[in-house]
Structure 1
Amino acid sequence: MNISIFISQNLERILVEWEAFAATFGAVADKMSSEDLRDHARQILEFVAEDIETAESEQERHAKSQGLATRTARSESASSIHGRLRYASGFTLLQLIAEYRALRASVLKLWRAECVDVSVDSAQDITRFNEAIDQSLAEAAVAYSDRLNETREMFLAILGHDLRSPLAATLTAGSYLSRPGAFDDRVQQIGIRVKRSAASMNGMVNDLLGLASTQLGDGIQIQRKHCDLLEMSQWAIEDANASHPNAAFELHASGELIGEFDQPRLQQLLTNLANNAAQYGAPGKPIIIDVVGENDRVVFKVRNEGSVIPEDALPTLFSSLVQLPKQEGDARPRSSLGLGLFIAKQIAVAHGGDIHVQSGVETGTVFTVDVPR
């Protein structure tokens, strides 16, 4: 008896083992009914049996072995629904994969117990069965991961949005307390620290919202308006100085800096680069910011002295949640989420430009951003 016929004739036996295995996942399965534990297992087994019987060309078989199998015209497979529902029920991805491992083992164990003869055809059956199980697992895992990513990014977006109002109030309070001459020196210093902390948190919130936007597939959205990039650069340095009051920023500007750009986004980009330079640069050494307006583009360069970035680390700098390791003897606290350079890259790309980095003993570390007009 081939595997497809065996599955069709022994669905209930296989489902009993599936349910028993799923029930071993502890608290996540304790309150689930038999129907919930079985979920779409029957439809998945029916798909597997049907797939084994479906004629395949050599080209189709090769495509399936590489995960490139053509999907049938259906809105959503039982495997995908199973992956989504397992996520909603609190199963981990490892538990989802374990279910399929148990399903594979159960079918083969029961089938071999009844079909002791092994032939070329049965070997082919096992190959087709494994291919079908792998395809079903892949669809379930993709659906599970999609739901996980959607939830995570929605959480980040909501978190960032809800933090804006209390941060604005904190920043206003810090500005009020730190006004020269309004209060004694002790209160003024408290106000400066409050303002500095609020500015740092505000930068993190902006980066979280940028990450949520890119991960949800929308990318960084820009709105070009008439603006002055010299003024924007001065504001960016003020933002970075609020978080790093001991950093020495030097701004050099030349050329035509008025044009059609998304000023708030470019200010976020330059602030992130300035914060990065202050965080990783040599203490006491100036951070040089050059802004040059050329005929067809504007070029930003942010240079700091300090430890050379290892060459093997350069390709990963613009990935999300990446931080360089602390250098020996550097006791400065790290307040970054590892998103600043990632967001800067996304903003540059959204403007049709790009960002590059060079790091050497003589040149220091230089981030260069090209933004087309």
Structure 2
Amino acid sequence: MKLSRFILSHLDDILKEWEDFARSLSKPGVIVPEAELQDHARQMLKAIALDMETIESAQQKKEKSVGDVSKISGGESAASTHGSLRQLSGFTMPEVTAEFRAMRASVLRLWMDKSTRASKANTAEILRFNESIDQALQESAVRFSDERNRTRDTFLAILGHDLRSPLATMTMAGAFLVRPTIDQANAMQIGARISRSAAAMTTMVNDLLEYARTQLGGAIPIRPVLGDIVDICQSAVDEASAAHPECIFEVEKAGERIGDYDAPRLAQVFSNLLNNAAQYKGENHPVTISTFGEAEATIVQVKNFGPEIPRAFLAAIFDPLVQLAIMTDQKGPATTSMGLGLFIAREIVTSHGGTIEVESSVEAGTIFTVRLPRAAPLPTMT
């Protein structure tokens, strides 16, 4: 059987192997449905089979094999759309490349198992198949890179915008403070504004430094000591309440409370989760943080009712520079929009030897679950 016809008649078998491989690349703790794992693979395989059936001249074959890569566009095709969605779902470029390698290997292996003998025609079909799948890979890679560049540029624009506001406040405050007629009461108010602006900028700079550390191959350092997880959660609630006075926060606790924790780092994690929950909470619903102490682990859950996070975003919500446009219907003031908070939260939890997961539905709400071992991991140093 010709390879192109084999592809069309054995799509389900090929897609099953594709799904198994794609599932192995998915983020831990995130259940991705079959349709999203297969993505546009069915359409890509059909397009590859159609391309293989298309008659090409000798010149067209040469151009396809040695053509200028820069001329390949990320225009609308199943392969380019696949690249866009994979970038949105938090895949990396090596993972996307590996998917096409797996597709190539699966198709050829399944076909050769059915083939009775090698022939010159078979060799020609394999060459044609390789050209077609390379074309699809390049289209996907171009779109993936375009989306990544767009996200990076958006990130830089947001960073500039977020830094400009506190800088403007501090500039105006400085202009008022140099006036000879300013009284003590006004000076105290201006000083408070400068302090808040400096704190906002410090948070952003610290997030950037933590992100840079992880990108250079380092883990976020922790220094765990014996502590009470409920006290850490309460500290995070106090900080979030100050930032969101209109939001009701509820603390629930059960089981063991004492363990080895880096309290400031975990307070940073829970503050971030609580601030996000307050920003996107529904009307007349509190934000809850619950602790469940077990023999070997402590579980902390932050829950709110608000807009459902689309399933396509769940796999990438903890990745940097990906979650910039997940939700726009926020109810409270945003603390920062750089898209680094959840990424840093995951890295801190990972440094504790724990895990962080998220699930979201209209009925159950959005729940972030942090699971931490109660025994201290080996401390990491700066």
Q: TM-score, normalised by structure 2?
A: 0.45
TM-score under structure 1 length normalisation: 0.46
Structure with max Cα Rg: 1
